[in-house]
Amino acid sequence: MKILVTGGAGFIGSHIVDAYLEAGHKVAVLDNLSTGDKRFVHPEAELYAIDILDPGVGPILHKEKFDAINHHAAQISVSDSVADPVFDAKSNIIGTLQLLTNAVSSKVGKFIFASTGGAIYGGQEYFPAGEDHVCKPTHPYGISKLSVENYLRFYQETCGLKSVVFRYSNVFGPRQNPHGEAGVVAIFCSRLLENKTPTIYGDGEQTRNYILVKDVVRANMLALDPECSGIFNVSTEKETSVNTLYETLLQISGSKLKAEHAPARDYEQRRSAISYKKIKDAFEWEPQIPLEEALIETFQYFKNQTG
């Protein structure tokens, strides 16, 4: 297949590009490099260093005639979405709509979308949440992802554009940016290696499902299956508190550095756990890498970067 990966110079996207190329597909990357890193782009992938809001995206799609688009380009900071909802909407809603319009007119066959698992459900009524759980996001970032999911349904029903939506839990692993707000594992690894005190917001007992990027990539490989369409959670279902996460990384690093606590953030969920039963039943996908093993691999990556 001929595939465009937006955000393909970023954390998750670059791993997907590598896997698609290894499987024999032809891959192009579209990334404005605002948070992505050109060094992460596989040398066999063609790079278009422009923003998804750029009018030049349309001519690229019409020239290349992609079979599928894997859309990972996004504004990913929850706090930035709260501070500037208009900017968040331009990137995550308007940018995606322009991409979808061009996808339809250039006859793309499938659109794979990176959504969000925890943020889209908001305060959960049960744990772990299935895909049929009510969606009530508590901040603009989650709202923008849910909006795109609804637009994807529209484009599939009216234009025949088949789509796959992955609602990720908290993804971590090599290449994650340790300098942004998102990615607590990368942030903790970086702070420990620099011997700088990390910050935990609130009491640290808030829980998430942490999943290694390798498992997420496996789901994105399945998405190329002609039979694959619909909305799927991609998670481990296992709740881990921020405190437990940090204590595990302390043991892995051998550090005794204590974290400092800051006031809790109003928009942050207390608990998040989402079920992967649907994708397991449909495609036999399930997470393969235990949390501690995944954390060891990730910490070693960041250690090698500083060596």
**Residue type for 260, please?**
E
Distances (CA, A) of 120 to 31, 142, 176: 24, 5, 22
The 10 Å Cβ neighbour count of residue 51 is: 16
- As to burial, measured by CB atoms within 10 angstroms (0-12 exposed, 13-18 middle, 19+ buried), residue 260 is exposed
Rg value, the chain, Cα? 19
Measured distance between the N- and C-terminal CA atoms of the chain, rounded to whole angstroms: 38
Percent helix, strand, coil in the chain, to 5, is 40, 20, 40
Q: Which residues contact 47 (CB under 8 A, 6 or more apart)?
A: 8, 9, 28, 29, 31, 38, 41
CB 210 within 8 A of CB 169: yes
- Which SS3 state, helix, strand or coil, does residue 113 take? strand
CB 169 within 8 A of CB 208: yes
Q: Which residues of 21-49 are buried (b: 16+ CB within 10 A; e: fewer)?
A: beeebebbbbbbeebbeeebbbeebebbe
Annotated catalytic residues are: 141
State how far the Cα of 55 lies from the Cα of 112, in Å rounded to an integer: 21
